[in-house]
A and B are shown apart, each in its own frame.
Chain A
Amino acid sequence: MYLATRPPVETAAPPPPRRRLFDAPRNVVMLGITSLFTDLSSEMVASVLPLYFMVQLGFGPAQFGAFDGVYQGMAAVLAVGAAVVADRRQRHKRVAGSGYALSAAAKLGLVVAAGRWVPTVAFLYVDRLGKGIRTAPRDALISLSSTKTRLGNAFGTHRALDTLGAVLGPLAGAFILARNPFGFDVVFMTSFFVAVIGLGVLWFFVDERRADVAPAAVDGDAGDLAAPDLAALDQVALDQVAIDPVGEADLARVATPDPAARLSWGSAAVLWRVRRYRRLCLVACALAVFTPGDALLFLAIQRRVHFTAAYFPLLYFGASVVFVAMAIPIGRLSDRVGRARVFIAGEVLLLGALAAVGSSVTGLGVVLVMVALLGGYYACTDGVLMALASSMIPGPLRTTGLAVLVTVIAGGHLVASLVFGILWSRYGPSEAVSLFMAGLAVTIVIGGFALRRDLPGRPGSPMSSDDEPLEVRA
């Protein structure tokens, strides 16, 4: 069990040179294990849904498609609202926990719905709402549990565990159905109990971290998550805040800590005036607009390299395994060479995956290359982007900032899948891929320039740059 090998709570930077598997704060590892169980639970259900809808509920593909569109969008519905509540009260654990609990309860609802389609669909939507509620407070808690210089490592550790759960989920679902062909209710019930165990890990082993007592601040890591009191922040002239670069050190200097003060709703607008963060949101959204969904990429490559759709789960599996394996090393790398640099490199990997799909090469090799590049892309962008954003967002606004970023990206992805679908049916799959490649390449260049000031060692990069290698400062 994990507890036996738990590393000591970090006390001071620089970190010890030894590198363990989970060389991350206990809270981060525990959040990772919570996510492992929760993703195991969710993916177990998600993987049997198409079969359940068509075999048991008698849905046609068109009806399932309509359900799936709303289902995917559901996560964005409450995300920002829940994040504002989490920031306002500085109760990340409680808000995240309510999201996890809602999803767990929804699994039980699926059992109770017993194959009637209206309650089944309703409970599945509730499940996704829960996902939307929990994601940003959880990521904020990860960032607040870690030192600023090791954010990449912390998010990498969490994403490795999280994705491991997503890999195991479909296997568990298939295992249950293979033993009991009518066992959809067994899948749902098992999923519920797995979700409860995940909730238990959160409840028993994850500690709340308020922005004003973040360990980084205790570490004396200059300018880190030191808590600008948001009530005071409100009084700061907004244009002063917006001066670029605004390091957290600047915010901390002007703020007078007052633990009793609470974030006011209007002060969330301050966030948008932090220029580096605003720029990151725009770049991430623009990149998302040129990122077709995995399913569409798999369909496109299937057209050229003939294999049956039955093997799609294997492609997801392969990409996820690469993601799990690379998340921690790449997270650590991003702490050393700069998170913006790794993030942009990840987008280049996606460009490579698109090139593999669009190339005229056939054979299994090109499919394997695409899957590996896609896995690497996730490892370089998913957690690393959250780490990069966390380093720019003042601690008391962390959850809101991350939720807005994720929502903006989700909007970009929605546009991408709509546009890709239209291009596909009008011009064909390879033309759609080519157009997306061109758009992505241009956006990568522009985005790289826009984020270059966030790279370490650049003139004009903020003194308190979180991307600054620890070794340089030490």
Chain B
Amino acid sequence: MKRKVLGFAILCAVCIVAAAGYAVMASRPATTVSAATGAPGVGGSTAGPSIAELSAAPHVVYTSTAVNSDFGKVAVADLASLGQVAVSDLSCERVDFSGDRGICLHADRGAITTYATIIFDRDFQHLFSIGLPGLPSRARVSPDGRYGATTTFVSGDSYASDTFSTRTELLDLHTGESLGDLETFTVLRDGQKTEAIDHNFWGVTFESDANLFYATLKTGGHTYLVHGDIAARTVTVLRGDVECPSLSPDGKHIAYKKRIEGDGGRVEWRLSVLDVATLADHELAETRNVDDQAEWLDNDTVLYSLSHAASGTPTKDTWSVPADGSGQPSEYLAGAYSTAVVRR
């Protein structure tokens, strides 16, 4: 018996030392991993232009996902060269900025991870913080900064089905007040009110008149593009098979992800663009799986994020591709996720 106890004690000691050793080694990955990703801001925050300086000119706002001390933090880069970068202390799963307001979906990690929407201004000052009911998915600000929309996954993983549902909420970004859950809006289809109860909404994008917006509605196992009116509290079904719409600056096109069946029956999405006037669509030159709400660099170019292939890190990069279906995708900004273009 004594021999067994001794043997077990040795085993425990070896395991504890090995586990602790691995944890210590793994807690210092920054230099090696980020060098491999080649992302900007590799060494963490460095002295450079301030956020205020960069915000004065056209710029991009994004969540930095390079594996270093800035991971998860919102960064600002100048639109012209993308070479001048400033990192804020705001950390977001998803971020958007337009006009004079930004939305940040923030995770407070701990034994119980909670999520909140943080509304901030041009100086990155926190104005409001509102609790979120689930995992952050999408955030959007209207072009004038008046309204915002957030989408979260309200998880319910069960044995055999994906019972995940989404919740999409509209916000007044100047008062911090909720304009309601989209599920409370009246759904009009072919001029008729629909009575189905399984409405799920996600991926809001606003028109230049912030009262009007587009979003995805899922009901009865199908997804639809809907056009919404906040004042009237209605959404109208336009057409099927559109997820995460994103309206171009001129309001003429919508970039979205189109659901297809990929290798081995895996669900995948292809980046597509539809004409708002005719609702006709075409696929873009990007053939990889894009699970993102796209952003428009200008009226001819679409931005979106992709996981950093096989690096084994949570890094995502922003890519660009022409909106007319021509050309080839090219990397726009390494290590940038949830990129928002602020033209000003």
Is the pair B26, A185 in contact by a Cβ cutoff of 8 Å? yes
Please tell me if B251 contacts chain A, counting CB pairs below 8 Å.
no
| B12 to chain A: closest residue by CB | A197
Please tell me if B110 contacts chain A, counting CB pairs below 8 Å.
yes
Is the pair A63, B266 in contact by a Cβ cutoff of 8 Å? yes
Cα-based distance from A68 to B27 in the complex (angstroms): 29
User: Binary interface profile of B, 187-208, with partner A (CB < 8 Å = 1, else 0)?
Assistant: 0000000000110000000000
Residues of chain B from 51 to 109 with CB closer than 8 A to chain A in the complex: 67, 71-72, 109
Contacts of A237 in B (CB 8 A): none
Partner of A73, one of B15, B111, B160: B160
User: Binary interface profile of A, 409-425, with partner B (CB < 8 Å = 1, else 0)?
Assistant: 00001100110010001
Contacts of B134 in A (CB 8 A): 308-310
Cα-based distance from A417 to B7 in the complex (angstroms): 45
Is the pair B12, A182 in contact by a Cβ cutoff of 8 Å? no
Contacts of B132 in A (CB 8 A): 308
Cα-based distance from A57 to B147 in the complex (angstroms): 32
Please tell me if B155 contacts chain A, counting CB pairs below 8 Å.
yes
Partner of B159, one of A62, A293, A314: A293
Partner of A174, one of B111, B153, B154: B111
Closest-CB distance, B195 to chain A (whole angstroms): 12
Contacts of B16 in A (CB 8 A): 193
| A314 to chain B: closest residue by CB | B112
Please tell me if A260 contacts chain B, counting CB pairs below 8 Å.
no
Please tell me if B131 contacts chain A, counting CB pairs below 8 Å.
yes
Closest-CB distance, B344 to chain A (whole angstroms): 32
Contacts of A296 in B (CB 8 A): 156, 158, 163
Cα-based distance from A181 to B108 in the complex (angstroms): 12
Please tell me if A171 contacts chain B, counting CB pairs below 8 Å.
yes
Contacts of B326 in A (CB 8 A): none
Please tell me if A56 contacts chain B, counting CB pairs below 8 Å.
yes
Contacts of A421 in B (CB 8 A): 158, 160-161, 163
**What is the total number of residues of chain B having a CB less than 8 Å from a CB of chain A?**
53
Contacts of B301 in A (CB 8 A): none
Is the pair B4, A204 in contact by a Cβ cutoff of 8 Å? yes
Residues of chain A from 147 to 175 with CB closer than 8 A to chain B in the complex: 170-171, 174-175
Contacts of A314 in B (CB 8 A): 112
Is the pair A62, B156 in contact by a Cβ cutoff of 8 Å? no
Closest-CB distance, B17 to chain A (whole angstroms): 9
Cα-based distance from A181 to B26 in the complex (angstroms): 11
Please tell me if A55 contacts chain B, counting CB pairs below 8 Å.
yes
Contacts of A298 in B (CB 8 A): 156
Cα-based distance from A18 to B198 in the complex (angstroms): 57
Which among B135, B162, B313 has the greatest number of chain A C-beta atoms within 10 A? B162
Closest-CB distance, B137 to chain A (whole angstroms): 9
Closest-CB distance, B310 to chain A (whole angstroms): 6
Is the pair A55, B163 in contact by a Cβ cutoff of 8 Å? no
Please tell me if A462 contacts chain B, counting CB pairs below 8 Å.
no
| B110 to chain A: closest residue by CB | A178
Is the pair B27, A181 in contact by a Cβ cutoff of 8 Å? no
Contacts of B169 in A (CB 8 A): none
Closest-CB distance, B248 to chain A (whole angstroms): 25
Contacts of B135 in A (CB 8 A): 50, 54, 309
Contacts of A177 in B (CB 8 A): 109
Please tell me if B115 contacts chain A, counting CB pairs below 8 Å.
yes
Is the pair B112, A181 in contact by a Cβ cutoff of 8 Å? no
Contacts of A309 in B (CB 8 A): 133-135, 154-156
Please tell me if B23 contacts chain A, counting CB pairs below 8 Å.
yes
Partner of B112, one of A66, A176, A310: A310
Closest-CB distance, B151 to chain A (whole angstroms): 12
Contacts of B312 in A (CB 8 A): 56, 114-116
Is the pair A58, B313 in contact by a Cβ cutoff of 8 Å? no
Partner of A417, one of B11, B23, B159, B314: B159
Please tell me if B185 contacts chain A, counting CB pairs below 8 Å.
no
Is the pair B267, A63 in contact by a Cβ cutoff of 8 Å? yes
| B133 to chain A: closest residue by CB | A308
Cα-based distance from A291 to B15 in the complex (angstroms): 40
Is the pair A62, B158 in contact by a Cβ cutoff of 8 Å? no
Cα-based distance from A413 to B291 in the complex (angstroms): 32
Please tell me if A14 contacts chain B, counting CB pairs below 8 Å.
no
Cα-based distance from A180 to B71 in the complex (angstroms): 11
Residues of chain B from 111 to 163 with CB closer than 8 A to chain A in the complex: 111-115, 131-135, 153-163
Is the pair A418, B156 in contact by a Cβ cutoff of 8 Å? no
Is the pair B307, A58 in contact by a Cβ cutoff of 8 Å? yes
Please tell me if A345 contacts chain B, counting CB pairs below 8 Å.
no
Please tell me if B279 contacts chain A, counting CB pairs below 8 Å.
no
Which among B4, B112, B155, B157 has the greatest number of chain A C-beta atoms within 10 A? B157
Is the pair B161, A180 in contact by a Cβ cutoff of 8 Å? no
Contacts of B26 in A (CB 8 A): 180, 183, 185-186, 189
Contacts of A57 in B (CB 8 A): 307
Cα-based distance from A203 to B163 in the complex (angstroms): 41
Is the pair A62, B162 in contact by a Cβ cutoff of 8 Å? yes
Is the pair A171, B111 in contact by a Cβ cutoff of 8 Å? yes
Cα-based distance from A309 to B8 in the complex (angstroms): 41
Contacts of B114 in A (CB 8 A): 308, 310
Contacts of A116 in B (CB 8 A): 310, 312
Please tell me if A179 contacts chain B, counting CB pairs below 8 Å.
yes
Please tell me if A365 contacts chain B, counting CB pairs below 8 Å.
no
Is the pair B161, A181 in contact by a Cβ cutoff of 8 Å? no
User: Binary interface profile of A, 294-310, with partner B (CB < 8 Å = 1, else 0)?
Assistant: 01101100100000111
Residues of chain A from 52 to 81 with CB closer than 8 A to chain B in the complex: 54-58, 60-66, 68-69, 72-73
The 3 tightest CB contacts between A and B, nearest first, are: A65-B162, A115-B312, A61-B164
Question: What are 5 residue pairs bridging A and B, where the CB atoms are less than 8 Å apart in the complex?
Answer: A60-B291, A190-B22, A192-B19, A293-B159, A421-B158
Q: Residues on B close to A: CB < 8 A? A: 4-5, 7-8, 11-12, 15-16, 18-19, 22-23, 26-27, 29, 67, 71-72, 109-115, 131-135, 153-164, 197-198, 266-267, 291, 307, 310-314
